[in-house]
Amino acid sequence: MARVKNKASDTLAQRLALVVKSGRISLGYTSTKKALRTGKAKLVLIAANSPPLRKSELEYYAMLAKVPVHHFNGTNIEMGTACGRLFRCSTMVILDAGDSDILADQSLSG
């Protein structure tokens, strides 16, 4: 069972890497909130060890903007590594998916 979960997170990491290369993303809580308020956000990703208050606030903003939220199974360190960054990242927003099919995946939306 854990093997399948690892495979799914690997494909998510690969999709995130493709979005970072070909699309547009924004990292961080403030820029995610700003993108949700302006209507530019397409998908919000929140790390598992994100603070609960920030998590619920972003979920509320996403609900108002009708943007899907995906709860990333890894920590903020793993999410930053999946984006190709050398620092922690607890929240990120996808502004343009580029060549990736991350927005079309039904397992991520919801």
Q: Are 99 and 23 in contact (CB under 8 A)?
A: yes
84 conformational bin, left if phi > 0, alpha if psi -120 to 50, beta if neither: left
pTM: 0.83
Indicate the SS3 state at residue 76.
Answer: helix
Q: What six digits make up the tokens of 12?
A: 């998510």
What's the pLDDT tens digit per position in 17-74?
888 899 999 999 999 999 999 999 999 999 999 999 999 999 999 999 999 999 999 9
Strand pairing category for 91-96 and 43-46:
antiparallel
Confidence of residue 5 (pLDDT cuts 50, 70, 90): low
d(CA 89, CA 86) in angstroms, rounded, equals: 9
Domain ranges in the chain? Answer: 2-96
**Quick one: fold of 2-96?**
60s Ribosomal Protein L30; Chain: A; (3.30.1330)
